[in-house]
Amino acid sequence: MLSLTSAHRYLLRKSPTDMRKGFDSLCGLVRDELGRDPLSGEVFVFIGSRRDRIKLLLYEHGGYVLWYKRLERGTLELPKGDGAVRMNWGQLVRMLEGIALEQPRTRVRWSPAPITAHC
């Protein structure tokens, strides 16, 4: 079960990532480019080139978990910094919810049209 909390450590790879990559390829990026151990229990965050897709890779007891989100509208705001950036839980949540990281404001997100009942 996916259970991310503020107790986890988050590391964002700011370089655009090919979102077709799976578990093994992302583990290779973690080892080769970030110089980290994918089995460490850290959550590794990857962003697509259009900044509308995000993947989180985590090793939990028994295997890897890969969480993937595609925005229907809008983009993800990235924290300042180059290369790999350490993030906290609050920054990750604000980024996913479309709230500005520096000066909080809501970014555009897609939501389905409400269903109206016809009697």
The per-residue pLDDT for 44 is 98
Kindly report the pTM of this predicted structure.
Answer: 0.82
The residue count of the chain comes to 119
Angle at 79 between CA 68 and CA 37, to 5 degrees: 60
pLDDT of amino acid 114: 79
Residue 86 contacts residue 11 (beta carbons within 8 Å): yes
Q: Which residue has the tokens 């595609």?
A: 70
Average pLDDT over residues 73-91: 90
Q: SS3 of 86, please?
A: strand
Task: Give the residue, 117 or 46, on which the prediction is more confident.
Answer: 46
Residue 106 confidence (pLDDT) = 62
* Residue 78 in this model has a pLDDT that exceeds 70: yes
Mean pLDDT, the chain, integer = 89
Instruction: Quote the percentage of the chain above a pLDDT of 70.
Output: 92
Is the confidence at residue 2, as pLDDT, over 60? no
Tell me if 31 sits within 8 A of 47, measured CB to CB.
Answer: no
Is the C-alpha dihedral spanning 39, 44, 47, 52 positive or negative? positive
Distance, CA of 101 to CA of 103 (rounded, Å): 6
Beta bridge partners of 66: 57
User: What is the pLDDT averaged over residues 84-106?
Assistant: 83
